């Protein structure tokens, strides 16, 4: 057991890119392959032998403690520290300092779905005797991420947030190991970005920041496209999660859902508890939250249908986010990044992309 290690998970962001779903729940609590996203991450941390976990909360802080309590159901000890004003990623880490007793502190962004071996990240931190170790992952297009070059010994040489001309395909994967005393150096009581301020300053001062680089499964769940893909990857067993033993089918149907026998569920689709899927409906890579309804003959592809929402008969919903309790009238067509706000009611055939009726 790694008893000399504590974990911190940053879960205080507003999740603006996932609106309107994040108006009613913080991003890490959105159902992902049947459980709140955060359950996958906490389970991974626990399975790496780290059971003392501090959640750095801000936006909708009470939702976390109401659901997880002291963490005993997941076999961990959870402590909550809430920012009255959002302090950003670095400020959020600094704000939990009083709860830190271990010398080694693992820090996670609360929205990363990953398959990295957390024990190996810790081993690298110890064997290199670094002050901070960053988990880096190699990706095809690093431009949208923090790009992090390293030297031949594995030391980090620069931290370039979202650059158009990246010198390497190694990106910041949002998991860090800090020596506790380095966290004390982060300015307290004001917003601080770990990516834009803390890491660049440590590097400018010549401090020892090391890298653990791999090609493990990795996805930032911050956008609807990534959320849908990550959820489907969990269902299909492509993304590993100890909270989902035995995953690996085309669909996951939660208890109490009613699915018509001739409905087609493929592509890692999830049907939430007490949801209803009508006859002839076709769902491909769909995320259907609890209590939602998809009526006869509707098609839902790579989309999220919010809690208690309804997709009318024959509707087409593709690459779309539908807010809680919204009603999409029969034969509507919603495509390419559409977002329907909670409770909105679209009349039958009210929005279409084709001219036939």
Which residues bind to ligand GTP, rule: CB under 6 A? 10-17, 27, 56, 58, 83, 86-89, 92, 109-111, 222
Q: Which is nearer to ligand GTP, 189 or 256 (CB)?
A: 189
Residue 16 C-beta: closest distance to ligand GTP, Å: 3
Residue 193 C-beta: closest distance to ligand GTP, Å: 9
Residue 161 C-beta: closest distance to ligand GTP, Å: 11
Residue 244 C-beta: closest distance to ligand GTP, Å: 20
Q: Which is nearer to ligand GTP, 111 or 333 (CB)?
A: 111
Residue 33 C-beta: closest distance to ligand GTP, Å: 18
Q: Which is nearer to ligand GTP, 54 or 287 (CB)?
A: 54
Closest to 182 (Cα-Cα) out of 264, 258, 97, 63? 97
Q: Which is nearer to ligand GTP, 148 or 259 (CB)?
A: 148
Residue 221 C-beta: closest distance to ligand GTP, Å: 9
Pairing mode of beta strands 132-138, 160-161: unpaired
Angle between helices 37-47 and 61-68 (to 10 degrees): 60
Q: Which is nearer to ligand GTP, 41 or 203 (CB)?
A: 41
Q: Which is nearer to ligand GTP, 22 or 320 (CB)?
A: 22
Residue 79 C-beta: closest distance to ligand GTP, Å: 13
Residue 10 C-beta: closest distance to ligand GTP, Å: 4
Q: Which is nearer to ligand GTP, 50 or 263 (CB)?
A: 50
Q: Which is nearer to ligand GTP, 183 or 300 (CB)?
A: 183
Token pair belonging to 277: 């899927």
Residues shown for the chain = 357
State how far the alpha carbon of 257 is from the alpha carbons of 160, 278, 324, 348, 355, in Å. 46, 11, 17, 25, 35
- Could you write out the three-class secondary structure of the chain? CCCCEEEEEECCCCCHHHCCHHHHCCHHHCEECCEEHHHHHHHHHHHCCCCEEEEEECCCHHHHHHHHCCCHHHCCEEEEEECCCCCHHHHHHHHCHHHCCCCEEEEEECCEEECCCHHHHHHHHHHHCCCEEEEEEECCCHHHCEECCECCCCEECCCEECCCCCCCCEEEEEEEEEEHHHHHCCCCCCCCCHHHHHHHHHHHCCCCEEEEEECCCEEECCCHHHHHHHHHHHHCCCCCCCCCCCCCCCEEECCCCEECCCCEEECCEEECCCCEECCCCEEECCEECCCCEECCCCEEECCEECCCCEECCCCEEECCEECCCCEECCCCEECCCCEECCCCEECCCCCCCCCCC
Q: Which is nearer to ligand GTP, 87 or 105 (CB)?
A: 87
Residue 58 C-beta: closest distance to ligand GTP, Å: 4
């Amino acid at each position: 057991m790694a008893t000399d290690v504590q974990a911190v998970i940053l879960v205080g962001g507003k999740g603006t890119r996932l609106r309107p779903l994040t108006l009613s729940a913080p991003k890490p609590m959105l159902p992902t392959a049947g459980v709140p996203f955060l359950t996958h991450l906490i389970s991974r941390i626990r399975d790496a032998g780290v059971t003392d976990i501090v959640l750095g909360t801000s936006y909708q802080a009470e939702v976390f403690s109401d659901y997880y309590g002291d963490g005993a159901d997941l076999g961990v000890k959870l402590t909550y520290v809430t920012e009255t004003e959002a302090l950003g990623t670095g400020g959020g880490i600094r704000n939990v300092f009083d709860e830190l007793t271990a010398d080694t502190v693992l820090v996670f962004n609360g929205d990363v779905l990953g398959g990295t071996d957390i024990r190996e990240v810790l081993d690298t931190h110890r064997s290199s005797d670094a002050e901070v170790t960053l988990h880096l992952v190699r990706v095809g297009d690093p431009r949208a991420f923090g790009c992090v070059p390293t030297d031949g010994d594995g030391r980090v040489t620069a931290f370039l947030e979202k650059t158009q001309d990246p010198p390497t395909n190694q990106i910041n994967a949002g998991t860090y190991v800090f020596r506790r005393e380095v966290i004390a150096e982060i300015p307290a009581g004001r917003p601080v970005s770990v990516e834009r301020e803390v890491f660049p300053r440590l590097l400018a001062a010549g401090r020892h920041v090391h890298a653990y680089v791999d090609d493990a499964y990795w996805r930032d769940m911050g956008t609807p496209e990534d959320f849908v893909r990550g959820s489907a990857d969990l269902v299909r067993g492509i993304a590993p999660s100890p909270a989902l033993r035995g995953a690996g089918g085309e669909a996951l149907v939660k208890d109490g859902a009613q699915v018509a026998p001739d409905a087609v569920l493929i592509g890692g689709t999830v049907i939430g508890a007490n949801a209803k899927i009508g006859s002839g409906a076709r769902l491909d890579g769909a995320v259907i939250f609890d209590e939602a309804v998809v009526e006869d003959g509707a098609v839902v592809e790579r989309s999220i249908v919010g809690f208690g929402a309804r997709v009318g008969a024959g509707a087409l919903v593709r690459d779309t986010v539908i807010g809680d309790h919204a009603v999409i009238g029969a034969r509507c067509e919603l495509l390419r990044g559409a977002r329907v706000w909670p409770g909105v009611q679209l009349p039958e055939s009210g929005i279409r992309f084709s001219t036939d009726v």
